[in-house]
Structures are given as structure tokens and as C-alpha cells.
């Protein structure tokens, strides 16, 4: 029960709110008018006190709503403390990833299809708050092994470390603002639409903390000393999408190399050298990419390996009550910072070095070729057999890096 305030101005404000509240309820309770009129004649002070009490409830609700809106608008909502458990699978960030050996295979895609993928996953949810534009018509297919993955913050920094195998698709985008047809690029960002990992803590930490679209995979990674031995990724797939289709473990991606036509082409001594060489290869044979306010080739060379380049992801969780809705949805950018480059080099390009081919299976649950608009070669005798995708060039790097705390670029509001 609210007691009448001593301040006459506040009492008048509460009485006015109470009057508005009663007027709003008259269509549903028409008899209330005669009851109020009778009470006003018999006991005016009691009638006024009732209006003040009802108005105080309305004022309290309005104040709570304003505080909630203000907190959301300014990003200062108090967050509940995370409840740690001894067997928790979601590790506290930031993360350190050491002894990482990555094999990268550059595949040609379609700018239009890649942009559709970015629009669906990033631009449409953000609804104009930020815009991601695909920078180049190529994607990087990576096979990587991280020898030591651990948290940098206690208490999880004291729990130990994991080793991890992963396969991922990387799409280079330019992040910025779009006003009508005019796009103003501000920074580079790697978008990852597909990612596969070998153990549950890495999957849980990646998805729950950062929003990586990680799913379980089985791997045979490339071997630098035996590159002609096939490497592959197996995933839990559905050939078609129907109530009768069982899930099966199938080979989704296989990488095959022919015997080299020459010795390994180039070995990199520094991260800056690697970045410049990769940019030259990515842009070779392409028309200059002209975006106002953005010198793409120079920025790529500076940031591709040497800078702190963010990874942009759609972080979301399905709602428990309404399964077609997200209880949380946000566009997040998590910076990846190179800390050391031990070695690296080019494995093959055009008619030099190893000649790689990537075979990608056709599964309705994993439409990689369609989503990425990948260029394929040859025609298959069987419509469901894997599609052969040529490799523009292949490289490897052995490095350490850190995955820093992320930044919320856009967040859905209730």
C-alpha cells in the first residue's frame, strides 16, 4: 500500500495519473463512473486519496520502464554473475592459442552469393546499424591444429589446456555504414559461416562466448611432410531435408594434392612478408577494388597477419518458449591478435608447387558450394557425388595468437 506523499505537487501528479488510469478503464468498467461520482460526493478526501494511491502505482511502473529503457539504450544494464561449475565446458575469455599450424586453401567464390550469405547472417538482423560488404570473391578453407588452447584469466587460466583440430571457412568483409547506395568502409572483418571442431569444450566456449558457428567434426589434417596424402573433414550430415532422412557421418570436404611440379615456391620469414605476399596473390588478376576512403590493398597487407583483425559473428540462442525466436541475438566482433609467427610459406599456386583440389560433398544440411558460390570444375557422372573445386593457391603458417574480449556491434532489444 502506498501512503500519500507529503509533497502537494507530487500528490497532485499522482492524482492526475490515477484519474487517467480510471478514465482509461471506463470502456471496460462503465459502472465505475457512477461509483466514483457517488464517492466524490460522500467523501471527497477518501476519493482523492484513492486517486493518489492508484497514481503512485502507475508512476512506479513508468519509472521502472524508463530506467530499463535508459539502461538498454546506454548499455549499462547490470549483468548477472556467471555461475562457475567445476566441469564447466565454457571457458572464460580471452583465450591464448599456441603452436597453431594452419593450412589455407584459397577458393574462388561468387561475390553475389557471398554477399547474400553476409546479408542473411549479419546485415538483415542488424537492420542498418552496421553493414558488412564482401571485399574479394575468394574464401579461405582452413585446416588447423592448435597445440595448446587455454584461458588467460583465472580461475580458468589455472584449469589447464586443450589441443584442438578445426576446419573453417573465412570470408573477408569490409565493415562500415551504408546510407542508401553509398557505403563507407571503416575496418576489415573476417566472417566465418562454417566451422567444425574436434572437442566439446572448444565448441561450447566458441559458440556460447563468441558466437562461432562451431559443430562437431572428425578430421585428418594435412601433413607438411606428406602433402600428397589426402586430408578430410567428416561431419554429421543430412543428404536431404525430410522427416525420413537419417543423420549420417559423411565426408564433407576432402583435399588432395598432386606431386609438385617444382620445389616449394616461397618460405616467409616475417608476418609482414607473409601478409604482403598473400595480398598480392589474392588480388592478382583482379581489377582494383575501389571503395571511397579505403585503400584496400595497403590495409590488407598491414592487417591480414600483422594487425588485430576482428572476426565478425552472429551470436544467438533459441528461445525456450517460442522456438522460432531468439532469446538473445547480437552481431559481435572478436579481435584475433597474432603474437608470434614461427614459420610459413606458399605450397602451390597456378602451375607451381603442389597442385591441390578440394572435393566438397553435396548435402542439404551443408550447402557449401551454393552458399559460397564456389567455382567447380568438370562434371560428375553421378549428381550426388562430390563437386571438385580448384584451388587458387595454398599456404601454411605456424603461429601463436590470442582471441581477445569481443565487442557488441549490434544487439536485439526486447
In which domain, by residue range, is 380 found?
A: 95-411
pLDDT score at 291: 47
Percent of the chain with pLDDT over 90: 46
Helix or strand (DSSP H, E) at 87: none
E strands in 29-129: 95-108
Query: Is residue 22 included in any domain, yes or no?
Result: yes
Query: Is residue 379 included in any domain, yes or no?
Result: yes
Q: Indicate if the pLDDT at residue 277 is higher than 80.
A: no
Tell me, yes or no, whether 101 and 136 share the same domain: yes
pLDDT tens-digit map of 286-310: 544 444 444 455 455 556 555 677 8
Query: Is residue 1 included in any domain, yes or no?
Result: no
Q: How far is CA 342 from the centre of its chain?
A: 28
Tell me, yes or no, whether 64 and 204 share the same domain: no
* DSSP code of residue 319: -
Query: Is residue 204 included in any domain, yes or no?
Result: yes
Tell me, yes or no, whether 52 and 187 share the same domain: no
How many domains does the chain contain in total? 2
Tell me, yes or no, whether 313 and 400 share the same domain: yes
Which CATH number characterizes residue 294's domain? 2.40.400.10
pLDDT tens-digit map of 52-101: 777 777 777 766 555 555 444 445 567 888 888 888 888 888 899 999 99
Q: Considering the entire predicted model, what is its pTM?
A: 0.77
The number of residues making up the chain comes to 414
Task: Identify the residue with better confidence: 363 or 17.
Answer: 363
Tell me, yes or no, whether 20 and 119 share the same domain: no
| CA nearest neighbour of 238 among 229, 247, 225 | 247
pLDDT score at 307: 61
Q: Residues 106, 111, 117, 121: is their CA dihedral positive or negative? A: positive
Tell me, yes or no, whether 149 and 208 share the same domain: yes
Tell me, yes or no, whether 58 and 108 share the same domain: no
Tell me, yes or no, whether 306 and 345 share the same domain: yes
pLDDT score at 390: 92
Tell me, yes or no, whether 142 and 49 share the same domain: no
| CA nearest neighbour of 144 among 410, 335, 408, 398 | 398
Tell me, yes or no, whether 246 and 384 share the same domain: yes
pLDDT tens-digit map of 98-145: 999 999 999 999 999 999 999 999 999 998 889 999 988 999 999 999
**Averaged pLDDT, 361-382:** 87
Tell me the C-alpha distance between 315 and 212, whole Å.
7
| CA nearest neighbour of 358 among 169, 133, 102 | 169
Query: Is residue 134 included in any domain, yes or no?
Result: yes
At 237, the pLDDT band (50, 70, 90 cuts) reads very high
Amino acid at each position: 500500500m502506498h501512503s500519500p506523499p507529503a509533497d502537494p505537487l507530487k500528490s497532485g501528479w499522482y492524482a492526475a495519473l490515477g484519474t487517467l488510469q480510471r478514465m482509461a478503464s471506463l470502456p471496460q468498467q462503465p459502472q465505475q463512473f457512477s461509483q466514483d461520482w457517488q464517492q466524490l460526493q460522500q467523501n471527497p478526501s477518501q476519493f482523492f486519496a484513492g486517486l493518489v494511491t492508484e497514481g503512485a502505482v502507475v508512476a512506479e511502473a513508468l519509472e521502472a520502464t524508463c530506467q530499463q529503457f535508459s539502461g538498454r539504450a546506454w548499455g549499462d544494464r547490470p549483468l548477472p554473475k556467471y555461475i562457475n561449475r567445476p566441469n564447466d565446458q565454457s571457458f572464460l575469455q580471452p583465450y591464448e592459442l599456441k603452436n597453431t599450424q594452419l593450412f589455407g586453401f584459397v577458393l574462388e567464390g561468387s561475390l553475389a552469393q557471398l554477399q547474400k550469405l553476409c546479408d542473411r547472417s549479419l546485415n538483415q538482423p542488424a537492420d542498418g546499424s552496421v553493414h558488412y560488404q564482401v571485399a574479394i570473391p575468394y574464401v579461405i578453407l582452413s585446416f588447423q591444429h592448435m597445440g595448446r588452447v587455454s584461458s588467460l584469466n583465472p580461475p580458468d587460466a589455472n584449469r589447464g589446456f586443450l589441443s584442438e583440430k578445426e576446419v573453417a571457412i573465412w570470408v573477408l568483409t569490409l565493415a562500415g555504414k551504408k546510407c542508401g547506395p553509398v557505403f563507407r568502409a571503416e575496418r576489415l572483418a573476417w566472417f566465418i559461416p562454417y566451422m567444425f571442431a574436434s572437442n566439446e569444450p572448444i565448441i561450447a566456449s566458441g559458440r556460447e562466448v563468441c558466437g562461432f558457428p562451431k559443430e562437431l567434426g572428425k578430421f585428418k589434417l594435412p601433413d607438411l611432410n606428406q602433402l600428397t596424402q589426402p586430408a578430410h573433414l567428416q561431419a554429421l550430415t543430412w543428404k536431404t531435408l525430410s522427416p525420413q532422412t537419417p543423420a549420417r557421418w559423411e565426408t564433407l570436404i576432402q583435399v588432395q594434392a598432386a606431386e609438385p611440379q617444382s620445389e616449394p615456391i616461397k618460405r616467409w620469414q616475417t608476418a609482414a612478408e607473409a601478409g604482403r605476399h598473400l595480398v598480392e596473390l589474392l588480388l592478382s588478376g583482379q581489377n582494383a577494388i575501389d571503395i571511397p576512403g579505403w585503400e584496400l590493398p595497403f590495409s590488407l597487407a598491414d592487417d591480414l597477419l600483422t594487425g588485430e583483425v576482428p572476426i565478425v559473428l552472429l551470436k544467438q540462442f533459441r528461445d525456450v518458449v517460442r522456438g522460432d525466436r531468439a532469446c538473445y541475438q547480437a552481431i559481435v566482433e572478436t579481435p584475433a591478435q597474432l603474437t608470434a609467427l614461427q614459420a610459413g610459406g606458399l605450397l602451390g599456386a597456378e602451375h607451381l608447387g603442389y597442385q591441390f583440389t578440394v572435393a566438397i560433398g553435396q548435402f542439404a544440411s551443408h550447402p557449401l558450394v551454393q552458399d559460397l558460390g564456389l567455382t567447380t570444375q568438370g562434371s560428375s557422372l553421378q549428381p550426388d557425388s562430390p563437386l571438385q573445386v580448384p584451388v587458387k593457391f595454398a599456404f601454411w603458417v605456424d603461429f601463436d595468437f590470442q582471441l581477445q574480449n569481443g565487442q557488441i556491434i549490434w544487439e536485439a532489444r526486447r
